[in-house]
Amino acid sequence: MSDLIGLQTLSEKPTRLDQSQLKLNFSEAAVSQLEEIKSHYPSEKAAILPALWIAQREYGGFLSSEAIAEVAHRLHRAYAEVEGVATFYSMYNTRHKPGKHKLEVCTCLSCHVNGAYRILDLIEKKLGIRPNETTEDGLFTLEEVECLNACDRAVVMQVGDSYYGPLTESLLDTIIADLKSRTESTVIQMADEIVKVHLPESAV
């Protein structure tokens, strides 16, 4: 955990973003989607989760401090509060910036006994990265995750919003080849899908 905090001296600490210095990156479509979502809830606080999904899509799959600050600004919440919400959930990418595709390999019980770590090793060798790292070309990020609730398909891996499993070496090769041929980022695609769930058909 210490690597998450990084011991800083006080002079190195960034000062809080001033509202006037805030760079707002939401596209017009995103702003209107946020307005639509806000109208579904009695308070702006309730819209933090979907708003973070919009931010994750708008900021290329990564919730940086700027992204979180923009959400807080647009929902009139304290910066720290929104950051607290974002860091609580593991599906928001707050710890490191993911590549174009995020490979999330389940290593929980059923997958473990079916050889999840062997599969993980295979992926590490094929892509040349360790878990929580991104390939140099920025295509793949590898992550080890807890139970994906698909034990019938162990060893299972999530990429974007699709599940793949049971994983074998040949299946892995096809998945990687398929992902390489895609132009869209599955990370952003998934965020977009989740935002759409919150919107009525007409607004999509």
- Of 135, 153, 134, 155, nearest in space to 145 by CA: 155
Give one word for 148, left, alpha or beta, with left for phi > 0 and alpha for psi -120 to 50.
Answer: alpha
**Considering the complex, what minimum distance in angstroms separates the CB of residue 49 from other proteins?**
15
**Considering the complex, what minimum distance in angstroms separates the CB of residue 36 from other proteins?**
26
**Considering the complex, what minimum distance in angstroms separates the CB of residue 169 from other proteins?**
34
Q: Which is nearer to other proteins, 69 or 159 (CB)?
A: 69
Q: Which is nearer to other proteins, 52 or 68 (CB)?
A: 68
Most distant CA atoms of the chain, gap in Å: 54
Residue 2: phi and psi, rounded to 5, are: -60, -30
Tell me: cis bond preceding 113? Omega within 30 of 0 counts: no
Tell the residue number behind the tokens 């974002």, with chain if given. 86
Q: Which is nearer to other proteins, 68 or 142 (CB)?
A: 68
**Considering the complex, what minimum distance in angstroms separates the CB of residue 17 from other proteins?**
8
Q: Which is nearer to other proteins, 15 or 202 (CB)?
A: 15
**Considering the complex, what minimum distance in angstroms separates the CB of residue 65 from other proteins?**
4
The residues of the shown chain that bind other proteins, judged by CB under 8 A, are: 1-2, 4-10, 13-17, 65, 68-69, 77-81, 83-84, 87-88
Residues 8-39: b if buried by 16+ CB within 10 A, e if exposed: eeeeeeeeebeeeeeeeebeeebeebbebbbe
Q: Which is nearer to other proteins, 67 or 176 (CB)?
A: 67
**Considering the complex, what minimum distance in angstroms separates the CB of residue 196 from other proteins?**
27
Q: Which is nearer to other proteins, 10 or 177 (CB)?
A: 10
**CA angle, 117 as apex, 108 and 193 as ends, to 5°?**
60
- Of 96, 78, 91, 18, nearest in space to 50 by CA: 91
